[in-house]
Chain A
């Protein structure tokens, strides 16, 4: 009997009528209903939009870090700032600092799992085509550089191990440099001159993604400043042509600098061993170098740091979402309590005409859920539209994860239930006699 009663009460037909009734009641006060739902609309919309923007930003950051290679440890030579042996150095007139071949040999010998290394060395000078020059950089490196750095060779090819062994005078240009030196011609097969040496172009490689991103940000201002204007030659070729000591004539004074390696990328075979290996490398460098004339970057560390940042961001976001939905929920509860008071008479009438307490509860609960549900839907729509608009007009990457709108919507409905229960029960608990007497 009881069970049948409940099934009857929950039947689809009654639910449908209750929903229609709810729509009518809400429609009576259109403006009020709309304003009440606004709290939920903005709560849901801001959560989805912020999530999408946050996801987009962290996706881009992670992509950039991944481009560096999550199994890599990147070492760079840095001119020491507080040079403790300055007196000695000045006497020899040659500033000597940075990573050495010795460092690398030691790493390969003592750190387990060091797979390959990409040493590179750079010489900054003018690079010439037949008639014009570009302020650029010659990068001495190894044949596996593109693979390790995740950079594609766009035309021609990269140099081979054979060319490394024979110190072949060949070079690969970055896309930007190729465009500057040979704007009209196919660069592969042509010749680039630096000082008195000639190099045959065998390929074009894509720009460093970091440089490309920076250049995109400030529309071409960096095009001619040497940034990204790289010419890659075999390590041995560079050494043959320019020796170990580099002479720079900059701002009126000579400066002699000896740097063996400007950059070394170490790849660790086992992804789980990146951290201990990085520590071992750090130890070697600390032992070999009195001054901190190197910089170590562990992309995996950066990645994890980025992930941690994202987690914190998500917690903050979650709190904001919770607070905004709480505020929206309180708004709904407030209005529903006012509505219940305002409709006391109606409640009395319904009770006199046979409505049970649970009928009254259902009626008001349906109204709050419809309010919050409608608010949630509108919020989802806006929350999806805003990131799309941002991406379209500001070019910022945004990522809408499929679960975000679904979750935000169901939470908004739950908010309606949660904050609707008290007003609904208050309505149902009214004494019918007093409710009927209510003005």
Chain B
């Protein structure tokens, strides 16, 4: 069993709740979530359908804000930020990897990797260097000028990983990253994740695949919007 590290957390959720109001009903998609994520954590978030996984990802990813509670990212409270500042935080502190890759179709491999750098205002020359380096790192050094539709699913997901890494974010969020891939490509992607974590990256993976629970040192299970299990909270 993994133990809770002594360092300051990179992410801290305090009493976070997310409520959806639908007419007279209020659905509590998340409730009483207290969570600390530490630098270098490698986490699987699991749970049944409707358990609150996507809601959790949206809040962690600063795409949505909690109804109640506080969210500290790299030490600052982001639960009350303006849309503008939130955009900036997303680009700088977080890297997203989606189930359906979500590459921009009209752009080439390098250009896709450059998108977050562009929004951070990194110069053309520098961002090109970073993008080429990352593309090479994920094994696409020879496909720099290909378009997404000329690549296999596994290759596209590797572009997405390179893109998520481009701004050197504090945390990488992956939502069912292997969900659309065959087992070979899927395990390739997972191996990259392992390597990234070994390099010290913080990774949070959302999945419904129980096999993942075996792979990551820390597992968080959500049920009815609550944290039902966290490896770090288990007695040794």
Interface, chain A (partner B; CB < 8 A): 8, 13-14, 17, 21, 24-25, 27-28, 345-346, 348-359, 432-433, 436
Contacts and interface: CB of A to CB of B under 8 A. Distances in A.
Given A28-B106, A349-B102, A432-B63, A355 B119 contact: yes
Contacts of B64: 432-433
Contact of B124 (A13, A348, A432): A13
Interface residues of B, number: 29
Contacts of B92: 354
Nearest to A356: B87
Contacts of A356: 83-84, 87-88, 119
Given A349-B103, A352-B102, A353-B90, 6 more contacts: A21-B107, A27-B106, A352-B63, A352-B90, A432-B64, A436-B102
Contacts of A353: 90-91, 96, 115-116, 119, 163
19 contacts: A8-B121, A14-B118, A17-B118, A21-B106, A21-B107, A25-B106, A348-B102, A349-B103, A350-B115, A351-B90, A352-B63, A353-B90, A353-B115, A354-B88, A354-B116, A354-B120, A354-B167, A359-B119, A436-B102
Q: Which 5 residue pairs of A and B lie closest in terms of their CB atoms, listed nearest first? A: A354-B91, A354-B119, A356-B87, A353-B116, A24-B106
Nearest to A360: B87
A351 B91 CA distance: 8
Nearest to B61: A352
Interface string B146-167: 0000000000000000010001
Nearest to B163: A353
Contact of A14 (B58, B121, B163): B121
A24 B107 contact: yes
Contacts of B116: 353-354
A349 B99 CA distance: 12
Nearest to A349: B102
A349 B91 CA distance: 11
B229 interface: no
A352 B61 CA distance: 8
Interface string B206-218: 0000000000000
B211 to A, nearest CB: 26
A350 B102 CA distance: 10
A13 B123 contact: yes
Contacts of A432: 63-64
B102 A355 contact: no
B106 A433 contact: no
A350 B117 CA distance: 11
B58 A433 contact: yes
B98 interface: yes
Given A17-B124, A433-B63, A436-B98, A355 B87 contact: yes
B104 interface: yes
A263 B91 CA distance: 88
A359 to B, nearest CB: 6
Contacts of B115: 350, 353
Nearest to B108: A24
B166 to A, nearest CB: 9
Interface in B57-116: 58, 61, 63-64, 83-84, 87-88, 90-92, 96, 98, 102-107, 115-116
B84 A357 contact: yes
